[in-house]
């Protein structure tokens, strides 16, 4: 079984999952099917904004793995942060597309510039948790200052914060803050990102998968660079959701439990920290933010 991380909701999350951002319906259905039926994944991470929840749902319905043994995450899109009713309706729409009664984790996809709006959204997210439609709720791309807006606003502290995180952007301050608050951190673009993608301004090539230091470490262990990076996340206590639509890579990315990085490897990788983001900065991302509530 995959290692799991306990969440403050009382549930736990498999530490490795499959991400499906920027995969179209056919790619998604094939990738999720391969992940669940062939590769041994038990955790799928999608979002309303990815446009592929129906494909994820079809693959889950057809998989030989029981629904209860799969951890499913989806996310509330910015444009649906239009007040309580719109948030609840967006969750229902996602559940219906996924063909599920509940998700294991429902995340606010991005913080917005408007703090009051974020608070209203978080109130509605808590209703969703209380109704059982999400076993746990959390956020994505929240910097500590965003977390401070919603922590204490109601009873429920976000179970996770899913942020861009990889050896170039190890997020040490945010991870320390989250750790103190009992919030698990999940890494998106864990391998350094998909080339030519990205909301907002940033859209850069993946340089990590070609990095010489990582290449040396990979060679030393007889593993690929992707596998070394995934180990770095796992050993750092992060939840990691590498995206791939390629069956061999999906299998390769979970074949990481037969080796470990030593202290020297971890120190060498720590030196790759250079604050290089491949995605949008949370403070600049307000795409689709609504002007008014419903
Ligand atoms: P693809 O989906 O075509 O297989 P991230 O998770 O950091 O966003 O990285 C995703 C990118 O890395 C995608 O372009 C994906 O390509 C590629 N990728 C995923 N796994 C591997 C791997 N094991 N080796 C090389 N590239 C990979």
pLDDT in tens, 160-174: 999 999 999 999 999
For residue 220, give the CATH number of its domain.
3.20.20.100
User: In this structure, what is the dihedral angle of CA atoms 53, 58, 61, 63, given to the nearest 10 degrees?
Assistant: -110
Which one from 21, 50, 71, 110 is the annotated catalytic residue? 50
Of residues 293 and 98, more confidently modeled: 98
Interval 138-193: pLDDT, tens: 999 999 999 999 998 999 999 999 999 999 999 999 999 999 999 999 999 999 98
Does residue 185 belong to any structural domain of this protein? yes
pLDDT (average), residues 119-130: 98
Q: Is residue 288 part of a domain?
A: no
Please give the structure tokens belonging to residue 69. Answer: 């043994």
Assigned domain for 228 exists: yes
pLDDT in tens, 17-71: 999 998 999 999 999 999 999 999 999 999 999 999 999 999 999 999 999 999 9
Residue 184 near residue 163 (C-beta atoms within 8 A): no
pLDDT at position 201 is: 47
What distances in angstroms separate CA 33 from CA 18, 208, 242, one per listed residue? 11, 28, 16
Which has the closest alpha carbon to 238: 166, 139, 287, 131? 166
In a domain, 289, yes or no: no
Q: What is the pLDDT of residue 280?
A: 87
Q: Is the ipTM of this complex over 0.95?
A: yes
274 in any annotated domain:
yes
Q: Indicate whether 194 pLDDT > 80.
A: no
User: Does this model's pTM top 0.90?
Assistant: yes
For the question of residue 41 being annotated catalytic, the response is no
Q: What pLDDT does residue 288 have?
A: 79
Q: Is residue 17 part of a domain?
A: yes
Residue 292 in any domain: the answer is no
For residue 133, tell me if it sits in a domain: yes
Task: State which residues form the domain around 100.
Answer: 4-278
DSSP state of 151: T
Report the pLDDT averaged over residues 73-79. Answer: 97
Does residue 204's CB lie within 6 angstroms of at least one atom of ligand 1?
A: no
**Is the CB–ligand 1 distance for residue 187 below 6 Å?**
no
246 Cβ inside 6 Å of ligand 1: yes
Q: Which residues of 29-65 are buried (b: 16+ CB within 10 A; e: fewer)?
A: bbbbbbbbeebebbbbbbbbbbebbbbbbbbbeebee
Range among 117-121, 195-199, 284-288 rated most confident: 117-121
Task: Point out the ligand 1 atom lying closest to the alpha carbon of residue 208.
Answer: 7
Grouping H, G, I as helix, E, B as strand and the rest as coil, residue 282 is helix
Q: What's the structural domain count of the chain? A: 1
């Amino acid at each position: 079984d995959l290692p799991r991380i306990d969440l403050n909701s009382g549930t736990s999350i498999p530490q490795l999952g499959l991400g499906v951002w920027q995969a179209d319906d056919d790619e998604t259905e094939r990738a999720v099917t391969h992940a669940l039926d062939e590769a041994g994944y038990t955790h799928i991470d999608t979002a309303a904004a990815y446009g592929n929840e129906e494909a994820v749902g079809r693959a889950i319905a057809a998989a030989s793995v029981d629904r209860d043994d799969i951890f499913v995450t989806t996310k509330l899109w910015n444009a649906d942060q239009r007040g309580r009713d719109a948030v609840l309706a967006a969750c229902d729409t996602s559940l219906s597309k996924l063909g599920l009664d509940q998700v294991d984790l429902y995340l606010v996809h991005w913080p917005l510039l408007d703090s009051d709006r974020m608070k209203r959204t978080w109130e509605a997210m808590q209703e969703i948790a209380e109704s059982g439609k999400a076993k746990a709720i959390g956020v994505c791309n929240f910097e500590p200052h965003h977390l401070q807006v919603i922590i204490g606003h109601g009873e429920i502290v976000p179970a996770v914060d899913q942020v861009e995180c990889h050896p170039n952007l190890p997020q040490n301050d945010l991870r320390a803050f989250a750790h103190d608050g009992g919030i698990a951190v999940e890494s998106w673009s864990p391998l350094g990102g998909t080339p030519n993608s990205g909301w907002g301004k940033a859209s850069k090539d993946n340089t990590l998968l070609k990095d010489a230091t990582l290449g040396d470490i990979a060679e030393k262990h007889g593993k690929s660079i992707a596998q070394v990076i995934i180990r770095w996340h796992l050993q750092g206590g992060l939840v990691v959701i590498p995206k791939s639509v390629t069956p061999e890579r999906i299998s390769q990315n979970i074949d990481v439990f037969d080796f470990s990085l030593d202290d020297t490897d971890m120190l060498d990788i720590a030196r790759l920290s250079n604050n290089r983001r491949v995605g949008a900065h949370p403070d600049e991302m307000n795409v689709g933010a609504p002007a008014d509530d419903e």
